[in-house]
Amino acid sequence: MSYNPYNQGPSAEAGYGGGYGQPEQHEMQSYGQQYGQPYGGQSYGQQPYGAPQQQPYDPPQQQYGSSATVLTQNQFLERVSAIRQEIQGLTQIIRRVESLHHAALSSTDGHAQAELDAEVAKSQLKNTAIKDQIQSLKTDTERTTAEHGTFSLKKRQFDSLNNDFKDTIQKFLQEEQAYRQRCREQIMRQYRIVNENATEAELQQAADANWGDEGIFQTALRSNRSGRASEVLGNVRARHNDMMKIEQSINDLVDLLDILNQLIVQQSAIIEDVAQKAEQTTDHLGNANTQIQTAVKSARNRRKLKWWCLGITILILIIIAVGVGVGVSVVQKNNPPAQ
């Protein structure tokens, strides 16, 4: 069953089981709720091999409800700074994992493998803690309105932080993929020890075989009865088990990158909504200006019409007055006063 420990938060089922080379069983402990068991079977809350207890940054809880509040600019920047320190700590773990990958391939006493299991377990714990904190900042950024005046700053800080985390996870993914390839090559070299005449196709088949299947293992063992066959094929089986666990690690890291990419998409949707509203506002302002210009033109036309009407009225009154005057004069001429 496929499982992504980063998409489920605290609750998860077993992930890696035993270590890369040696399956081990460890008692689960609580980290809030139980996490999946990466590589060495440790729960996220358990620090194996005497390592100090890792306490991920636990920001103060922010209540978002009907009376939702948002972080101030200083509070937001403080959390960003704390998460960046967590990412730096993850980078250091990845460097140790890379070093232990080389050691585990050449080690025969299992000590390097045990250290590798512990470091990978810590990396998964830190990955989940950082992812949860970034999601918390995303929620706060989305709840920041224009009234707060900090949305643009929070958006820039969020994008930068999320991209830095993605870059770190991408480097971890590349290291796991490289280690998987080195394990595959080692299987092919070890298989050639017990089958010197193996063709390239047979070596590829051996690298792809399910060495956890007892039938395949016994068949290979019977085909070569040299004294070292059992030991070499046992190493091949162990390395195959490591590859299965590395494959799960790679899938989990890919899923985590998908989650982080979705955060960017969701946050981008917020910006697009703001841009769309701004564009609508601009359109409304443009329409308002057009309407104002039309109203001004109409008012000017009305004033001109009023003056035209007044002029015509005055002209009519003048004509009437002239007409009346002329009429009165004519009447007076036709009817001279009596002597």
pLDDT in tens, 150-175: 888 999 999 999 999 999 999 999 99
The stretch 42-51 carries a mean pLDDT of: 38
pLDDT score recorded for residue 85: 97
Are 108 and 257 members of one domain?
yes
Per residue in 25-41, pLDDT (tens digit) is: 333 333 333 333 444 44
Burial profile 37-58: b = 16 or more Cβ within 10 angstroms, e = fewer:
bbbbbbbbbbbbeeeeebebbe
Are 125 and 225 members of one domain?
yes
Amino acid 102 reads H
Q: CB-based contacts of 125: which residues, under 8 Å, 6+ apart?
A: 31, 35, 44, 45, 54, 56
Of 10-14, 56-60, 232-236, minimum mean pLDDT range = 10-14
Q: Number of folded domains in the chain?
A: 2
Are 308 and 163 members of one domain?
no
The stretch 204-209 carries a mean pLDDT of: 74
287: enclosing H helix or E strand: helix 229-334
- Give the residues across from 31 on adjacent strands: 33
| 251 belongs to a structural domain | yes
Helix, strand and coil percent figures for the chain, each rounded to 5: 70, 0, 30
The stretch 37-58 carries a mean pLDDT of: 40
| 49 belongs to a structural domain | no
Q: Does the pLDDT at position 102 exceed 70? A: yes
Are 174 and 312 members of one domain?
no
Are 175 and 320 members of one domain?
no
State both tokens at 23.
């399956």
> Does residue 79 contact residue 152 with C-beta atoms inside 8 Å?
no
State both tokens at 310.
């007044």
Q: For the domain that residue 259 is a member of, what is the CATH number?
A: 1.20.58.70
- Dist. CA 122–CA 116, nearest whole Å: 10
- Dist. CA 202–CA 221, nearest whole Å: 15
Domain containing 327: what range? 297-332
Local confidence band at 244 (pLDDT 50, 70, 90 cut-offs) = confident
Are 214 and 317 members of one domain?
no
How much is the pTM? 0.59
Q: CB-based contacts of 255: which residues, under 8 Å, 6+ apart?
A: 4, 6, 7
Are 203 and 319 members of one domain?
no
SS3 31: strand
| 151 belongs to a structural domain | yes
Determine the longest span between alpha carbons in the chain, in angstroms.
171
State both tokens at 296.
């001004």
